[in-house]
Amino acid sequence: MDVDRAHPADLEALRAAFDIDSCEPPLGWEAVRAFEAEHEIVLPEPYRTFVAEICDGSSSGPPDYGLVPLADMPADWGTGRPERLLSRPFPLTGPWLWEEDDDLESQEDFDAALEPVFDHGSIVLGTDGCGMYWHLVVTGPHRGHVWNVTDVGALPFGAEFGFTTGSPGFAGWVEHWAAHKPWFDL
């Protein structure tokens, strides 16, 4: 997974995976660079080239309720949430099921640990409904990886993490979806 260079094979697979009629027009490089400057980040490849040149969101997915445009949030994200700080590192490098975590002693500790998982270092790609959001990490050690963040925990997508046979990263996530496999097929 190369997050600094868009490989032609990945871009071709992304073009093939999306029905152009369900895609929003690409943003163009000027708009992508403006978004990056505003948030003090550089989007990982091949997602960066994808939104600049191919498609900025798709009603046909992935995920189930569509790929949201770069600067948008899923309709069910809610209001009154903390500001999303994309330049702060995404805090996780391994799965965390907070529903089963007894190490956090108070609700205050829990809230302080949980907020960065939802709001730091990632863009939200979309939702599968029921509070299941797909995030693309843009800052931190897992930059370029796709994570599923739910109401009970968070886990990375990709065979190396043991939850699927798919390849990690945005291109692997899309290719897995395009093959019509269940997300977690092990």
Determine the pLDDT at residue 172: 94
Q: Which percentage of the chain shows pLDDT scores above 90?
A: 69
Euclidean distance between CA atoms 41 and 44, whole angstroms = 9
pLDDT value for 16 = 93
Percent of the chain residues topping a pLDDT of 70: 96
Map out the domains of the chain as residue ranges. Answer: 8-178
Residues 35 and 52: beta-carbon distance below 8 Å: no
pTM over 0.85: yes
pLDDT digits (tens, 9 = 90+) for 19-47: 889 999 999 999 999 999 999 999 999 99
pLDDT band at 83; cut points 50, 70, 90 = confident
pLDDT, tens digit (0-9, with 9 covering 90-100), for 138-159: 999 999 999 999 989 999 999 9
